[in-house]
Structure 1
Amino acid sequence: MVKSKIDVKVVLLGWSSVGKTCIVQRLMYNQFGDTSTTIGGAFSSKRVSVGDVDVLLGIWDTAGTERYQAVNRSYYRRANAAIVCYDLTNYESWDKVKFWIDELTTNEPDIEIYIIGTKLDLVKDNTEPRAVPIEKVRELAERYRAHTFETSSKTGENIPELFQTIAENFCKKYPQGIVTSNGSKNNSSVNLQDNNNNGNKKASSGCC
């Protein structure tokens, strides 16, 4: 039996150095290490299965610095899911989460939002204290009907589960994909291929 295929556009947003690129690196290559700071956006794609559906996740990793905020709007346009990241050990990174959620809900009201706490290994190992209370995260998630995960790119904890959940939730919401006004199925604004294409420049190493 031939599997049906669905394309899903995913964008990662969040403050600089929260570990967005490390999430993608762990997902794509099952690796962890120093990464370059993203300038603009970098594209990757990952195939996952949901029952008899072959889901191709087109993943855009975006820059976290404020000067690229206007550029990032072009990457989340027509996205199906947004991963909004913050560092569990850095409260300043949490302050940017609501900014991005407000941006998303204003410009892409149908987008599924995933609020992701990164660097869980530092909290579990007592290397760094938890700076963002769980209650604050739950309150914001309930307000915007967002999903929440806590992840570690170092150990890989919850990263495969995050992207599998994104695929499963999309298939539940759009079991036949998104049908455009001309009757064709088209739920992505990018040409998705199974690859990792860092077409935009990257600066020197950053932190995961």
Structure 2
Amino acid sequence: MKLKSCTAALLLTFCIACTPNESKSADAGVDQTPDIIAQAGAQKPVEEPTATDDGIKEMGLLKEVEDSGYPFATLTIEFPERKFKEYFTINFEEVKGASLDKVYKWVGKYVSFTYNTDLTNALLDVQIGGKSLVSDEKIELGPEVKQLSGILKGADEETPGDLPGEVTITTKNKTTMTFPFFVTTEMVKANGKSVVGFYEERNQNTITAIKLLPK
């Protein structure tokens, strides 16, 4: 009887001692691939611009959407890995599958997009005798701002809607520069007269395709 009791006790002790090792072995045999895939999916997309025949392909974090008057909007897109942000114009009538309501919902998420960039002249102020025809408040003009003197044309009436009109300034040597601009009442009065225009060169980034990146 004592022999049977001792034998049972030894078997129980042996089973307890073996249990942790079996558990570790079982854990080691579990396929951890799903966890690895999940971790990889949580990483930020790699921001690598690619030039194609259709434009420049990019991906970035959509930070802000500003309605510029239908069908236009301005998108602020951030590139965290490169530590900068850029502004892009989008025309919803020309970009398939995009709308103002839809891109509003994408704010704070990564998007993939294609865009073209063009160098444009942005008119900042128009003056006569040092007085602005654009604003009663002083317009800050940085060192990169250029100026030209000439005859103002195209300011026949105030700009009626949300989209800018188009004005020109022609210099004495017959050089004409064209600017998209919201014409003011004071500019209408100066139409056909000699003015000084202040402008700067800017990159105009226009989105031609955009979509939300999957999580």
TM-score, normalisation: structure 2? 0.19
The structure with the largest strand share of the pair is: 2
| Higher RCO structure, 1 or 2 (CA under 8 Å, sep 6+) | 1
TM-score, normalisation: structure 1? 0.20
